[in-house]
Chains A and B, each alone.
Chain A
Amino acid sequence: MNVTIYNEGRQTKVVLDGRLDTTNADQFQKDIAPLMEGADPDIEIDCEKMEYTSSQGLRIFLMLQKSVTGRGGKMVMKRMSPQVKEVFDITGFSHIITIV
């Protein structure tokens, strides 16, 4: 799983590439640690190349969403594959995370 983080104006963009699973979830959590701080965050996560996520990934996306909401910011996940979207739908994560 490759994680690219960059800023565009006020917005933080995150590009995910690969499989997010039990073998790399801890590393992913470390990679996105900078997104867990700062006021009024505005984060867009591009999931086009995220091939897979298990509950290990969901756990981290939920932590991030809670953190962002708690700091008065907004987070959007975009271009999810139908299979990954299904995981978000089944678990009800589609109701609590904005997916476009």
Chain B
Amino acid sequence: MEKKFNPIEGKSGAIIESVMNSNDIPSDESLQFKLRLSVEEVVENIVRYAYESGNGFIEVSTSVDGDTLSIRIKDGGKPFNPLAKKDPDVNASLEERQIGGLGIFLCKQMMDSVEYEYTEGCNVLTMKKIIK
């Protein structure tokens, strides 16, 4: 499955559903929960922050190779490696705890691998999950 969205403002829900409705997504509910969460966190970050003008494209694609599902999310916004961000301190007290900054951390925890590259003017995030 491969699908491109442009514009993306206000389209987070549709973009997430296009991935979740792909035939490559397994029917197991617990897996779907983890995949949906990972996709949402990445898409939401792009929609909110990638484009200065607030609008541009997102291209999502899914594929299965053996027992591994890959979900690739690509945008043409400013170069940004979400994986370079420091993980939140999950042991912080209520007073110290910052509101926000959890999305990409959750994605990394839910998937088996997450890789980032900046190529041909695009941010490309590839997430993999073993599904069998």
Give A contacts to B, CB under 8 Å.
21-23, 52, 54-56, 58-59, 62-63, 65-66, 69, 83, 87, 90-92, 95-96
Q: Which residue of A lies closest to B40 (CB)?
A: A54
Residues in chain B near residue A52, CB distance under 8 A:
33, 36-37
B26 to chain A, nearest CB (A): 15
- B interface residues (Cβ-Cβ under 8 A, vs A): 12-13, 16, 29-30, 33, 36-37, 40-41, 43-44, 88-94, 97, 99-100, 102-103, 105-106, 109
How many angstroms from the CA of A55 to the CA of B42 in the assembled complex?
Answer: 11
- Asked whether B41 lies within 8 Å of A55 as measured between CB atoms, the reply is yes
Query: What is the bound-complex CA distance between A30 and B105, given in angstroms?
Result: 26
Chain A at the B interface: SS class: helix
Query: Which of chain A's residues have a CB closer than 8 A to the CB of B99?
Result: 59, 62-63, 66
Tell me, in angstroms, the Cα distance from A42 to B30 when the chains sit together.
32
B93 touches A22 (CB 8 A): no
Known: A62-B99, A91-B106. A54 touches B41 (CB 8 A): yes
Choose one: A22, A56, A69, A90; the contact of B90 (CB below 8 Å). Answer: A90
- CB nearest to A63 among chain B residues: B99
Q: Which of A21, A58, A69, A83 contacts B102 (CB 8 A)?
A: A58
Residues in A with CB closer than 8 Å to B44 are: 22, 54-56
Across the interface, do A23 and B13 meet the contact criterion of CB distance under 8 Å? yes
Please give, as numbers and ranges, the residues of chain B lying within 8 Å of A22 by CB-CB distance. 12-13, 16, 40, 43-44
* Other A-B pairs, 8, CB within 8 Å; known A55-B44, A95-B91: A52-B36, A55-B100, A69-B94, A87-B37, A90-B106, A91-B105, A92-B89, A95-B90
CB distance from B97 to the nearest CB of A (A): 6
State how many angstroms separate the Cβ of A81 from the closest Cβ of chain B. Answer: 9
Interfacial chain A residues near B30, Cβ < 8 Å: 83
Cβ–Cβ < 8 Å partners of B16 in chain A: 21-22
In the assembled complex, the CB of B94 is this many whole angstroms from the nearest CB of chain A, namely 4
Query: For residue A62, which residues in chain B have a CB less than 8 angstroms away from its CB?
Result: 97, 99
Determine whether the beta carbon of B100 is less than 8 Å from that of A23: no
Q: What are 8 A-to-B residue pairs whose CB atoms are below 8 Å?
A: A52-B37, A54-B103, A59-B100, A66-B97, A87-B37, A90-B109, A91-B102, A96-B93
